[in-house]
Every structure is written in structure tokens, then in C-alpha cells.
């Protein structure tokens, strides 16, 4: 089946959904609001959120934690819309993509158990999506009473073994669990994508996720050298063991740099040397976000009748939600 034929309907659907993304003018309006209540009231009237955020609510609804749950729900709703419009092979790939949302969800549970000693958020609006797309026993994990309980409640999932290994080390931290989840997510995704994809779909997905993994590795290694003065063995433990444009010998060279200037000199000789002229001129996270956004848009522009349309739209929605949360903070 040709790409144009297989994706004509899906691409048309996603282009229509693009029209409901928050505009620059909307962001300007949001930034000038003075309370979480005003942000919610604005979003209740916005096409992307009007069907997700309830219209008639009491005062208990108007706080950031509740808003974040419904923003996540709006993303899941869009994911489900695309899934329902997709072919069987496209659906198999999208179920693999749900790893990103599972990982984010589990991180939040680990944070709440670490910071509060219990899970305080109400995740009930997300339950139907985990019943449909995830192997996680949603009801069990949201009622976990401790870190150990949360890990035990995942015995029938792929998360149990790597998280158990973290639990076995001396005094594991929240960072250890979050790093474990990130490494697991990217490693599983990278291994399984070839099982579900081929041709242009495999290429655009490899180019998107490979670019992201390379940037994450560069970012993490940069931070280790600049802020934490970590040793090479300590840095290796943080690196995602996947190579795309950044080859393994180049990754090794960056890890073993003597200092931040040596790191920058070595980075200049890689594929990303021209992309990253000087990381000290601003926020590394913001700079990498702009590079990642440019990559997704380029892939969609060059291959609109492929999974690039799905990958790009979902990435834009994730960025949108992050921006709304930052504004409310």
C-alpha cells in the first residue's frame, strides 16, 4: 500500500487537529492571566480542551494538580482519536508509543511516594486508557503504599525487572528510579520499532527518536561535566546505550572529556557540531527543544504521508501541555 494512500485519511485528520493547537496569541493571553482559575476558565472555552475540561465544577477543581490531570487527559484523548483512525499496523506502532506516557505516569507515582509518602493525586480519569493501551494494572499501582509496593505491583510487566534491580542497590534515590524508567523506555522502543515498521515509516521514526536520544545524551554528559564534576564511570551509567548520528566512539570521547571546554571541542567534530555552536549562551534545555522541534517539522514536511504526521503532532501536543503547566506555575 502506497504511503499517500495509507496515510491520506490519517494525515487529513491530524492536519485538522493541528488547527486546535494553542496559538501564539493564546499563549500571550494565558501568560497575562493572574490565577489557575483564570487559566482553567480560558481553556474550558478553547477547542482543544472544551470537550475535556468539565464546564460546571466546584471550587475544589481550580488547582494546578487537577488541571495537570485534565491536560494529560486531553493528550490521551488525542492519542485515542488518532489510534481509532489508524490502520492495524499503525495501531501496533502507537501502542509502542504509549511507553512514553506510561513512563511519565510511573515517574509521577514515584515522585509522590518519595515526597509525600503516599499517592495523593486522583488519576481516575486516565484509567480507561491504561485498561486499553497498557499492561500496567492501573488500579494496583495508583493504590501503592510505598516504593516497594509500587514495584511489586508491576510484577507482570516489563518494568518489574529493571526497577527491582534499582531497589536492590544501597539507598536508591528518586533520580535512580526515573533514570531507570527513561533507559528502559528508549531501549525497548529502539529494539521493537523494527518489529512494527519498515520503509519510510521506519526511517522517519528512527530519525526522530535517534535525534532525540543523541541530544539527550549530549545534554546529560554536558551537565555532568559542567555542574557535577562526575567521573567517566559515573557518566557512563547515565548514558542511553543507543547510537544514531552520534557514533559510539564519539559518545565515549564526550564522556571521557577532561573538562567542559574539552567536551565542547570534541562535540564540534561530530554530526552535531554545527547544530550546537555554543551551549553556554543560553538554556541548554530550551536550545535542544528548538532543535527537536525543527527536526520533527522537517520530517513531517519532507514525508507528510508517513508516521511523521503522528510523531510530530503528538510531540507538539506534549510541548503545548508543558508550556501551559509552566505558565500556571
Is residue 1's pLDDT more than 50?
Answer: no
Q: What percent of the chain has pLDDT over 90?
A: 72
Query: Could you read off the pLDDT of 102-147 as tens digits, one per residue?
Result: 999 999 999 999 998 999 988 999 999 999 999 999 999 999 999 9
Torsion of CA 183, 104, 189, 286, to 10 degrees: -80
Query: Could you read off the pLDDT of 46-87 as tens digits, one per residue?
Result: 988 988 888 777 666 767 778 888 899 999 999 999 999 898
Query: Could you read off the pLDDT of 166-193 as tens digits, one per residue?
Result: 999 999 999 999 999 999 999 999 999 9
> If pLDDT is split at 50, 70 and 90, which confidence band does 277 have?
low
Is residue 218's pLDDT more than 60?
Answer: yes
Question: The whole model's pTM is what?
Answer: 0.91
Amino acid at each position: 500500500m502506497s504511503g499517500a494512500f495509507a496515510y491520506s485519511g490519517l494525515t487529513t485528520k491530524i492536519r485538522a487537529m493541528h488547527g486546535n493547537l494553542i496559538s501564539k496569541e493564546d499563549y500571550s493571553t494565558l501568560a497575562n492571566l493572574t490565577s489557575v482559575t483564570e487559566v482553567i476558565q480560558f481553556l474550558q472555552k478553547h477547542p482543544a480542551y472544551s470537550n475535556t475540561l468539565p464546564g460546571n465544577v466546584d471550587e475544589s477543581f481550580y488547582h494546578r494538580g487537577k488541571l495537570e490531570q485534565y491536560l494529560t487527559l486531553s493528550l490521551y484523548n488525542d492519542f485515542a482519536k488518532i489510534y481509532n483512525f489508524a490502520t492495524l499496523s499503525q495501531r501496533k506502532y502507537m501502542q509502542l508509543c504509549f511507553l512514553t506516557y506510561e513512563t511519565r505516569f510511573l515517574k509521577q507515582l514515584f515522585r509522590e511516594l518519595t515526597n509525600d509518602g503516599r499517592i495523593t493525586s486522583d488519576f481516575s480519569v486516565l484509567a480507561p486508557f491504561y485498561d486499553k493501551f497498557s499492561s500496567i494494572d492501573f488500579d494496583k499501582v495508583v493504590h501503592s503504599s510505598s516504593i516497594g509496593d509500587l514495584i511489586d505491583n508491576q510484577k507482570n510487566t516489563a518494568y518489574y525487572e529493571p526497577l527491582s534491580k534499582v531497589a536492590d542497590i544501597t539507598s536508591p534515590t528518586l533520580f535512580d528510579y526515573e533514570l531507570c524508567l527513561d533507559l528502559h523506555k528508549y531501549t525497548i522502543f529502539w529494539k521493537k520499532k523494527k518489529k512494527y515498521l519498515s520503509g519510510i515509516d521506519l526511517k522517519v521514526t528512527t530519525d526522530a527518536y535517534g535525534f532525540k536520544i543523541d541530544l539527550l545524551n549530549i545534554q546529560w554528559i554536558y551537565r555532568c561535566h559542567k555542574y557535577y564534576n562526575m567521573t567517566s564511570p559515573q557518566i557512563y551509567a547515565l548514558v542511553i546505550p543507543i547510537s544514531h548520528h552520534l557514533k559510539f566512539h564519539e559518545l565515549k570521547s564526550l564522556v571521557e572529556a577532561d573538562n567542559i571546554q574539552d567536551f565542547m571541542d570534541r562535540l564540534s567534530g561530530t554530526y552535531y557540531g554545527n547544530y550546537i555552536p555554543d551551549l553556554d549562551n543560553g538554556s541548554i534545555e530550551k536550545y535542544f527543544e528548538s532543535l527537536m522541534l525543527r527536526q520533527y517539522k522537517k520530517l513531517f514536511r519532507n514525508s507528510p504521508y508517513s508516521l511523521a504526521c503522528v510523531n510530530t503532532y503528538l510531540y507538539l501536543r506534549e510541548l503545548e501541555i508543558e508550556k501551559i503547566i509552566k505558565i500556571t506555575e
